[in-house]
């Protein structure tokens, strides 16, 4: 079980900001911006490169939910960034697909 599955089942506490039957959103414990929220499917998908066509609707709902989560976090006007890491060279530290929602400051480009 990944740490994200343990958060979804409440085995590990987290500051949860949104939840549906399919995914959960919570504040990252090691934030990289003033607002750093993770949007995580409850069903483990190791990474985006392993997602299947059947996962498309779930992934779409997660992306659409990000705008509501960002708005609730006060990021709608100033903007925010969505990031999905795929593999260790991209910075993936938990092998469970998740979307990073980052904002609350000016974000530089290119990242990293």
Q: For residues 44 and 59, what is the distance between their CA atoms, to the nearest angstrom? A: 12
Options 30, 36, 96, 98, the catalytic residue: 98
Whether residue 26 contacts residue 92, with contact meaning beta carbons closer than 8 Å, is answered with no
CA 14 and chain centroid, separation = 13
100 is catalytic: no
Which residues are identified as catalytic? 98
């Amino acid at each position: 079980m990944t740490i994200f599955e343990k958060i979804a089942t409440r085995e590990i506490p987290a500051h949860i900001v949104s939840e549906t039957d399919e995914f959960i959103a919570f504040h990252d414990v090691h934030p990289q911006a003033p607002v750093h929220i993770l949007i995580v499917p409850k069903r483990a998908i190791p990474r985006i490169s392993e997602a299947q066509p059947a996962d498309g609707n779930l992934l779409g709902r997660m992306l659409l939910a990000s705008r509501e989560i960002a708005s609730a976090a006060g990021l709608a006007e100033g903007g925010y960034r969505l990031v999905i890491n795929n593999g260790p060279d991209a910075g993936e530290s938990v092998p469970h697909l998740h979307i990073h929602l980052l904002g609350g400051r000016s974000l530089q480009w290119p990242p990293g």
